[in-house]
Amino acid sequence: MSRSYPLPLARLAATFAVTLLMTLLTTGCVLVPKRVAIMDFVNATNDHALDHLSVAIPETLITAMNRDPNTILILERQDINHYLEEIDRNPGPDSRVDRFWQLGKRLGADYFVIGSVARFGKRFTVQCRLFSVETGRLVPASAVARSCDREEDLFEVACVLGAAMVQQVYGRYPKTEAETQGSQPVLAPDPPPPPAPTAPQPSFPDRPVRPRILR
């Protein structure tokens, strides 16, 4: 049974996306949109009460990340399911990694967002990360996790994770060929030379000291 969540931070991802887009425009950067596919999340604790979250959280991520198709293009989940059925008929030697790689090539995707949801006691934890189709591997240092104490707060958690994934994708845009050829290494300036040692100067009293004559 699907559940709906409140909309406390729906503006968070929108604000982040608009700010990032304005920054790119003002700096003169024109980027080709990255094609991103968001997969169903894994129920890490095998708690069947969380099965609906494996789909609900990715759907919220789609809403959070799909703010501007000119920068990030979220692929249709119907296409993902269609190609997955074909790939599962002929699995490769490394079923999980090869599955993502084949799916990415067929979809023309640049990245996958994959993740998991778990509950330990009364605390929910959601984690997601990027899978690069180009390298066929998980992107290092791309994992982001958030926790909450109530299921009602998972929508807010998903919005925060969506904004973080947008930032992860943008942080991995390669430089253009012109930028790469025209860029030169910036060398740090040489430190100033240390001051030359000076000989100590003798100190003299302001007034001459006269000896006192005793009578």
Residue 87: burial class (beta carbons within 10 Å; 0-12, 13-18, 19+): middle
Q: Would you state the pLDDT for residue 203? A: 53
Q: What DSSP string runs through the chain? A: -------SSHHHHHHHHHHHHHHHHHTT---PPEEEEEPPPEETT--GGGTTHHHHHHHHHHHHHTT-TTTEEEPPHHHHHHHHHHHHHS--SSHHHHHHHHHHHHHT-SEEEEEEEEEETTEEEEEEEEEETTTTEEPTT--EEEEESSGGGHHHHHHHHHHHHHHHHHTTPPPPHHHHHH--PPPPPPPPPPPPP-PPPPP--SS--PPPPP-
Instruction: Provide the angle, in degrees to the nearest 10, between the axes of the packed helices 10-26 and 53-65.
Output: 40
Q: Minimal CA–CA distance to 34: which of 158, 162, 155, 174?
A: 174
Q: Would you state the pLDDT for residue 69? A: 75
List domains and CATH numbers for the chain.
Answer: 33-173 (3.40.50.10070)
Handedness of CA 79, 81, 85, 90 (dihedral sign): positive
Q: How many CB atoms lie within 10 A of CB 123?
A: 11
Q: Which residue has the higher pLDDT, 1 or 178?
A: 1
Instruction: Judge whether 65 and 161 are in contact, CB under 8 Å.
Output: no
Instruction: Judge whether 61 and 100 are in contact, CB under 8 Å.
Output: no
Residue 88 has pLDDT above 50, yes or no: yes
- Give the C-alpha distances (Å, rounded to integers) separating 90 from 83, 93, 95: 11, 10, 10
Is the overall model pTM greater than 0.75, yes or no?
no
Q: In this prediction, what percent of the chain has a pLDDT beyond 70?
A: 61
Q: Worst-scoring range by mean pLDDT, 100-114, 115-129, 184-198?
A: 184-198
Q: Which residue has the higher pLDDT, 19 or 7?
A: 19
Q: In this prediction, what percent of the chain has a pLDDT beyond 90?
A: 34
Q: Average pLDDT of 5-19?
A: 56
